Structure 1
Amino acid sequence: IGKDNLFKYYKNLKIGEKIPFELSLNRSQYINKNQKVNDQFIADSGYGQGQILMNPLQLASIYSSFVNEGSIYQPHIVQGKTKTWIKNVFSKETSQTIKEDLINVIADEKGTGHSIYHDNVTLAGKTGTAEIKQSQSDTTGTELGWFTVMTTDSKQPLLITTLVEDVKDRGGSGYVVEHTKTPLDLYLSK
């Protein structure tokens, strides 16, 4: 999609801006000001590598758009009235397509999040593994495992984003899925 479009969409998602939240948080980033931007950098950034650093709370907020017709909800500590942070950042059609894909990550027996599947509620989710290394040839780097899971029913709203450091040789993001089961099961049993 090219640098201009990629960076435009990062800006639309407010990556790099202050996150409206009750506590002070580190900002996400899509570019390190000292990094030379070239085609490889753009490609790496396009699939979440390169210099992308995401605050887990902002990532969770972005995922909220896929069950809210393309609008991102503002994160908050205490449950209360939900406020929209970024309205219509994705079209309804795009958010619906992504939502269906996220449901399949859990519903499909071959999905990377299937081990957290529940018969009584539709869940949507995404696993991911971030490699922390100095170069493509670096084999000593560590890995961060990510997992976001959410309900798709507004009567039982829940979104959990979990990050675990050093999951290399421990199952990658699958390790994180397994450790998200307990809090999810407790919530769904209410």
Structure 2
Amino acid sequence: SWGSYYVTTLHAPSPNNLKNAITYSDNVYFARSALNIGKDNLFKYYKNLKIGERIPFELALNKSQYINKNQKVSDQLIADSGYGQGQILMNPLQLASIYSAFVNNGSIYRPHLVEQGEQMWIQRVFSDKTVKTIKEDLINVIADEKGTGHAIYRDNVILAGKTGTAEIKQSQSDTTGTELGWFTVMTTDSKQPLLITTMVEDVKDRGGSGYVVEHTKTPLDLYLSK
């Protein structure tokens, strides 16, 4: 906290580690991590992921961003960006591409509408150690009975995923703002390659990201039943 400004979380898991933070969506863990990483390193890796650059795609897309131009960088802003708030804006296609690195040996391939063979976009952006750690934690989001994505669990296929809820409001005290619900789920078996990223507007009082998890079941089941 900074005076009257607080970073809060709905889940305070114990122990307070990366695995539990990812599984249960602990905002405070990621806020602290961003501050420990520091602005320079954090921004360096945002750039490594090409956040803020043009997305190579057949259709024109809005760029993602990690900070507004001429924005004053404070500890509060860095902490908020650690869990996807602050000045973070993510294009859903780029977010999906980033998640795909954890089943593609740390590399991000160019997204496309019409398959044209694999074309590299960002090679080896994550190390083998990072890929292994994050992949296992994303699997736990769905496999753990209390994980935020457990509602989509299947005992015949290993799924990995992550939920997220973005608050759209003018200030921390604003109680009228809406919420965006996010969910990414992907298979981990190359024989059944699938990744779905879904964003639903106005999920406040409708279950948050849990609403999105429930509504991702149908397209996932249709694919896995083939």
In the TM superposition, 1:99-118 aligns within 5 A as: 99-118=135-154
What amino acid does structure 2 have at the position aligned with 1:26?
N
- Correspondence for 1:8: 44
Query: Where does the alignment leave 5 or more consecutive residues of structure 2 unmatched?
Result: 1-36
- Counterpart of 1:83, as a letter, is Q
Instruction: Tell me whether 81-90 or 171-180 shows the greater mean CA deviation.
Output: 81-90
Which ranges in structure 1 are unaligned for 5 or more consecutive residues? none
Which among 201, 206, 217 is matched to residue 170 of structure 1? 206
Distance 1:163 1:120 in 2: 26
Report the AA paired with residue 134 of structure 1: Q
Mapped to 2, the partners of 1:97 and 1:12 lie a distance apart of 19
Counterparts in 2 of 1:47 and 1:177: CA distance versus 1, 3 Å: same
1:161 aligns with 2:197: yes
1:32-90 Cα distance to aligned partner (Å, 9 max, x none): 11422111111111221101000000000000011111111211112442222101111
Which residue does 2:27 correspond to in 1? none
Hey, what does 2:85 align to over in structure 1? 49
Q: CA RMSD in A?
A: 0.9
Aligned to 2:181: 145
Spell out structure 1 runs of 4+ moving beyond 6 A. Answer: none
For residues 77 and 40 of structure 1, the distance between their equivalents in structure 2, rounded to whole angstroms, comes to: 39
Question: 1:180 is matched with which residue: 206, 212, 216?
Answer: 216
Pick the aligned partner of 2:170 from 134, 155, 174: 134
Identity over aligned residues, as a percent?
A: 87
- Find the counterpart in structure 2 of residue 83 from structure 1: 119
State how far apart, in whole Å, the 1-side matches of 2:122 and 2:72 are.
30
What is residue 31 of structure 2 aligned with on the other side? none
Q: How many residues align?
A: 190
* SS at 2:89 equivalent: coil
Determine the C-alpha separation between the residues in 2 that align with 1:6 and 1:54: 16
Cα deviation digits, residues 103-127 of structure 1 (max 9, x gap): 0111111111111111111100000
Distance in 2 of aligned mates of 1:34 and 1:126: 31
What's the counterpart of residue 65 of structure 2?
29
Distance 2:118 2:179 in 1: 34
SS in 2 for 1:146: strand
**How far apart are the structure 2 equivalents of 1:96 and 1:162?**
24
Q: Which residue of 1 aligns with 2:95?
A: 59
**TM-score, scaled to structure 1:** 0.97
Per the alignment, residue 12 of structure 2 pairs with none
- Equivalent residue, structure 2, for 1:98: 134
